[in-house]
Structure 1
């Protein structure tokens, strides 16, 4: 073997020895070790339990040696939060314990002296002295914590932004630690810059090919020349989505700033202006004329780009029943935030009675997310002669005056991630009973009666994490006064109340239901969910009154389509088998 060959062999051998040592060291770092004791060497005596919680390690726990740098970092963060700005970690190592196979975690270092907040001031010459008092929580003598300082600065900037100082900046100046009566104190200055209130110059709109500019601008909550706040800007998408005519509204973008003026860019995606959903069928019969059944739902959303709305609905589920609805809404009457809605309803309940209802409702925006509602309705009921005789139903008409208040701060009314919607209505009606005359005598019914109705809605949406939402929707309705009969009751059950039961399966003068959903958002206006619905109603049967409780559960989906939001729910009522489940379909045609 030549000398060159020997040298080459030695080099290769050294390489493999070094590689083996490196792999062995890496292998040791990747194998977990069990901790027997945590030993502190330094002035940690009164903080050992707290540090153990901070590093999330206890006796008997297994850890990877590679975690040692992370443990040191956690101790440093804990020290800074507790005011020990001079804390020093000399070393952290694993040592053999007395018990075979176990290791002790040995931490060597010192905390040093605790630092407290000394004299500090806020430097903002253009602000009044007491302007920031509502958000100042730092006090002299408190433990100096970097986390608290950062939160104080953040609170100040958010407060100023909500006051119109959109471009305010903050920094810590003149930071100095001194010793005063054996106590370390930190003095500093919170300096604020760019303290100028910002006003809106104008808004550039994109995507509104059909909707008029003034329809959008009057709804955003900020007019040209007004002071802009971060809260007003952040609420613009939600305010526009609540109009129901847009699929999507982007967060406003600041295009440019000139002095104290800014220009905003706002992009929208319009929904369908006209939607038609329906199916019509013909049922033939032997030796008799057949009959039509079906459903037609026609909506004119945002006609002429002015946010008006016209709805026509017709449904005939069987030969003897029929429902017709017509409504029109005119927004911003005389250029004020007041809308007027007119509605006409005709309902045929098989052979029991026919009901007509004419409604006029006005809505006025009060402030922020609150609106006041008021109006009247004229409701007339015409029972069949057999129903009058057998079910003791009177022909009647009622003039109802109603008022209510509504609050809505949901970020998206179709598919909310967060927010609350609530509405409370009270109605007082003047009811006149017309006959039949024999029934008035037999039932000793008064010709004139009063009737009161209460209606409450409370919807709460909570963003848990990622695209998962918890939705809770509470509804309650009650009517009272005079001689109540079937035509005064509310019908419920099915798709829009307690799923797992037939649509409008129940009726009562007192009802309530709660919809609880765990939602998985799959798109801006789409979701999947599981649900549990509970309901209550007061049952009237054969002159007896009893309380009945309902429960339904299942799963559903809301899918954005060209027609609108398609809803499909599969629900099981309490006691149902899988084959007894109900499939509920629905279309939300308005975005």
Structure 2
């Protein structure tokens, strides 16, 4: 019978033996200089914390360590205790945390191998004398001094705390410390050589010229940390890491740039055939072809060809060439040819050239000139479409680009402001030119873009851009107008769906990065266009505010960054949504 009672009691208590003992309450007392919450944070103990052997010693050790960082080296924890509940499953901890008196920094004995540096830093560290010996504050002073040295040619500088002498002064009853600090500045480092690794096709000089570092230039950590952003703008490499610096056996300072090349030749195309609708028509080819060679023979030169066939009678052809760093100077030469056939209305050809001065790594200014001709399509019936005209355009552009990566920026801004002046001569058709027709027309174009990128959290970025275009002059033809709608402006609408002498659009995106240059996004686009009335040509005013929204993804692939989005215009049902896709323009 007695054995049965023992087994019964064991069964009753067994579940309680399996439950862990936990802290039910953690109380702080006797603290005068620091708040309870601060000390609890140091102890890393709270309600629900599991009880373990030596928990009181751990708490005391953690609190004492953090107090020492604040300059309190003589705390007392006498009276600290634990009280268990009746079932021994919960415990109340009472921590008696008397911080004691702070220790003051009495003297800083500072020595250095460089007397000039000693004199420059001595006032900084002397400022600490008489203050509470706060280790965190001392580390901040040392880190600031090391940063200044790194940016002034001393990347190998070292601060050493040789000793700290603690003592008690019975006269004023305070604790004091004397700090012995030594600075070794190391050698005065200069960048005398630049080595490039990992570039299989890109030539070394293409990388080196982008760095804008002169041989013998003094080492600066700030400038070194800026170099990856400059190289990323070439778009020839995977995201570049911060370069390494070392001194070789000949005592030359060597800057080592390590890169990994990415695909720089892109081909994007889709070709389709539209069969005839009836026996009297013939079929036609439609589609898009985009070819971009952005690093010809590893020299940084670029060539692009773009062809778009919209329908039976409309198509575009564009050829572009870039010559970077003309004659070794920070000047980029751009040459473009563009031709547009618009329905059965006109053919427009433009030849342009521009010279861009790279003032700094962030700021550039450009001048350009272009010649344009517009030829109306001949028709059997004398119907006016556009004038036969030629125009000469000159312009200037200012650009500021601080983005950390041009393909998938997570921070920075892009600002571009352009002014164009065109002198347009109307040459025919003579049957539509009257005595009142202005045959010499001056046109002005104002164009601006502002893009902002802000990192909210890890992998999450907000991107916003706003764009404006305005054309001014006595009258406008269809070939002069701006075009709005499609992948690069207002998603949810057809490419170039709207025409206007004044257009505006904005794009707001929330981006979630899946890898460095791959991200999914939600977007909200707005747009506006105005085509002013022209009573003489029976054109009524057209004006509308538009909205588009949707989602998409940008994928980094072997052939470039592929962008795909599904967009709805205001009032559209899901079945009416448009899919926009294409290789992101990297020219």
TM-score by length of 1: 0.81
Does 2:133 correspond to 1:144? yes
Q: Equivalences for 1:195-234 in 2 at 5 Å? A: 195-234=186-225
SS in 2 for 1:111: coil
The answer to whether the Cα contact below 8 Å between 1:513 and 1:533 also exists between their aligned partners in 2 is: no
Deviations 1:270-293 (A, max 9, x none): 334543332333323133232221
Q: After TM superposition, give the deviation of residue 433 of structure 1 in Å.
A: 4.8
Q: Equivalences for 1:84-99 in 2 at 5 Å? A: 84-90=72-78, 93-95=81-83
Choose the corresponding residue for 2:32, options 44, 58, 65: 44
Does 2:546 correspond to 1:554? no
Q: Equivalences for 1:49-64 in 2 at 5 Å? A: 50-51=38-39, 62-64=48-50
Output the CA distance in 1 between the equivalents of 2:208 and 2:251: 21
The answer to whether the Cα contact below 8 Å between 1:376 and 1:402 also exists between their aligned partners in 2 is: yes
- Distance change in 2, residues 1:233/1:438 (3 Å): same
The answer to whether the Cα contact below 8 Å between 2:244 and 2:256 also exists between their aligned partners in 1 is: yes
Q: Equivalences for 1:510-525 in 2 at 5 Å? A: 510-525=502-517
Q: After TM superposition, give the deviation of residue 567 of structure 1 in Å.
A: 1.9
For 1:108, the equivalent position in structure 2 comes to 96
Q: After TM superposition, give the deviation of residue 109 of structure 1 in Å.
A: 2.8
Output the CA distance in 1 between the equivalents of 2:413 and 2:124: 29
SS in 1 for 2:491: coil
Choose the corresponding residue for 1:498, options 486, 490, 495: 490
Q: Equivalences for 1:290-329 in 2 at 5 Å? A: 290-329=283-322
Q: After TM superposition, give the deviation of residue 398 of structure 1 in Å.
A: 3.9
SS in 2 for 1:234: helix
Superposition RMSD on alpha carbons, in Å?
4.0
SS in 2 for 1:366: coil
Q: Equivalences for 1:191-590 in 2 at 5 Å? A: 191-247=182-238, 249-254=240-245, 256-258=247-249, 260-272=251-263, 274-285=265-276, 286-382=279-375, 396-416=389-409, 418-434=410-426, 447-462=440-455, 464-465=457-458, 468-483=459-474, 485=476, 486-525=478-517, 527-540=518-531, 543-544=540-541, 546=543, 548-561=545-558, 563-588=559-584, 590=586
Q: After TM superposition, give the deviation of residue 342 of structure 1 in Å.
A: 0.5
- Distance change in 2, residues 1:168/1:415 (3 Å): same
Deviations 1:191-226 (A, max 9, x none): 221332212242333332322222222223334332
Tell me whether 107-116 or 81-90 shows the greater mean CA deviation.
81-90
- Distance change in 2, residues 1:300/1:50 (3 Å): closer
Output the CA distance in 1 between the equivalents of 2:467 and 2:166: 62
Output the CA distance in 2 between the equivalents of 1:489 and 1:173: 74
Output the CA distance in 1 between the equivalents of 2:158 and 2:470: 57
Deviations 1:476-521 (A, max 9, x none): 2222432353433322332223333323233334444343333343
- Distance change in 2, residues 1:585/1:258 (3 Å): same
Output the CA distance in 1 between the equivalents of 2:14 and 2:192: 66
Output the CA distance in 2 between the equivalents of 1:45 and 1:227: 47
Output the CA distance in 1 between the equivalents of 2:126 and 2:481: 55
